[in-house]
Amino acid sequence: MNTADQYLKAVYLAQRMEDGPAATGTLADMLDVSPASVNEMVGKLEDRGLLEHEKYKGAALTDEGIERAHDALTTYCIIERFLTNVLEVEEFRDEARALEAVIDDTVAERLDTIIDRRPECPECFDPEADCCSYLEPSLD
């Protein structure tokens, strides 16, 4: 997953939390970057036709942007579930965030074959908790 996909995933989740366009301030907080960085990437994603941005209202994903964000979120969920249920990593959120930028689709597909991912994934992702709402770490 590349940086653009991480931004698309953040816009997708912010839109769900805010029930409308994603504010650039919200995206900056979610991604732990400056608002200027968000504005720059939002412009690039808009140029690619992946989102639409209206000044003072926020960013909204296009159909293609939604599809890419959905794929990015699915990959993130696969990583979280693998770290939690297979490797039993306690700090799985931090690890998942670090790994999502370097795990490609092929690796994610292979990880998906060894985890028990729910069929409703990634719609079960809770943006407020920053993890799958069904994810129960099996840590002793």
Q: Is residue 28 a contact partner of residue 39, using CB atoms and an 8 Å limit? A: no
Residue with more model confidence, 11 or 125 = 11
**What average pLDDT score do residues 107-130 get?**
84
Per-residue pLDDT tens over the stretch 9-67: 999 999 998 889 999 999 999 998 999 999 999 999 999 999 999 988 999 999 999 99
DSSP 70-81: HHHHHHHHHHHH
pLDDT band at 138 (very low <50, low <70, confident <90, very high): very low
Query: Which pLDDT belongs to residue 131?
Result: 75
Number of H helices, E strands in the chain: 6, 4
Residue with more model confidence, 66 or 105 = 66
- Residue 136, helix vs strand vs coil: coil
